[in-house]
Amino acid sequence: MERISHFVTFAYSKNFHGREPGYCVDHGEGIGYDLQLEGILYTTSLEEAEHDIGEYAKNYTNKENPLFGFHTLERPGSAFLICTTERTTEQLSERWYDALGSLWEKSETSTFSGDPEEKRIFKGWKNPHFKPGDIVEYYTPKKHYVGIGVVKTVAIPPEIAEMEINEQGKKFGYERDFVLIVTPNINEDGCIEIGTSFKYSVVRVHPVNVFKPSLPLDKRDERIFKFVEETERRRCDMMHQIAEDEKEEEKRKKEVEEKRKKEAEERKRRAFMNAASNFCCDGFE
């Protein structure tokens, strides 16, 4: 049976709020820059969508807010749902096109509730464009901006990921179906400084929303990102060591408790044997 669907494309520009282009905005999920919705395109096929994206990119003239790219969502059914947010309905596939209209990223993983649960979770995990340690941009749908950070871990392929289950036995998602990205935050002084006021975040991003940096980075920026990566690595190493120490302490306590139990049982046994021996001796007398 042929799948009936339509395509909705959101055209975004970079909004630097009149300042020099840069990563100077922080909405709590790392530094970055805001996106501005420039237009929405509705089409009945992917071919139409890609044609309209190419035309839009060719005719876009706003130099103040340069184009970031196009976010295309394939949605079930033939009726267009007029909306201004991507997350209003579920989608059958998802694509990003760059400012020139070329395909950037894609995920053909459906999030439609009628599809198998195993398929719905993983969005674009087959991404060859980045690895741990790479500096990348990432799109955050909730905050509607693009952040920048360092890849900490990549998503686990679906065939080896395990479903996580809470204490009530309820499924709540697959193990790491996202990319972990470490990103600095703007501190209370409104800047990013390595020191006592240094702050950073670890954010979860679906691979389809991870891109190569679109703005140049100077050496200082690169040093800050490497510092963030190293700080998070050391924190994880320390937490791992604490967990190992707690396991060792728990093991030691169990061994001490078992030793006490054995000693107590041995004392009881000896007391019983002594009592039995005394009884026998009294009996012969």
> Residue 144 is which amino acid?
H
Answer yes or no: is 23 within a domain: yes
What are the pLDDT tens digits along the chain (285 aa)?
566 788 999 999 999 888 888 888 878 777 889 999 999 999 989 999 999 999 999 999 888 889 999 999 888 876 555 554 555 557 778 899 999 999 988 877 666 554 444 444 445 445 557 888 888 899 987 777 898 888 887 776 655 556 566 667 665 555 456 788 888 776 555 556 555 556 777 888 888 888 888 888 877 676 676 766 666 676 666 666 777 777 777 888 888 888 888 878 878 877 767 766 665 655 545
Rounded to the nearest 5 percent, the helix, strand and coil shares of the chain are 30, 30, 40
d(CA 3, CA 204): 31
Answer yes or no: is 282 within a domain: no
pLDDT of residue 101: 94
Answer yes or no: is 180 within a domain: yes
Answer yes or no: is 125 within a domain: yes
> 136: exposed, middle or buried (C-beta count within 10 Å: 0-12, 13-18, 19+)?
buried
> 120: exposed, middle or buried (C-beta count within 10 Å: 0-12, 13-18, 19+)?
middle
When divided into structural domains, the chain yields a total of 1
pLDDT of residue 163: 58
Answer yes or no: is 183 within a domain: yes
Answer yes or no: is 117 within a domain: yes
Give the residue numbers spanning the domain of 139. Answer: 5-217
Answer yes or no: is 269 within a domain: no
pLDDT of residue 116: 45
Answer yes or no: is 190 within a domain: yes
CB 212 within 8 A of CB 135: no
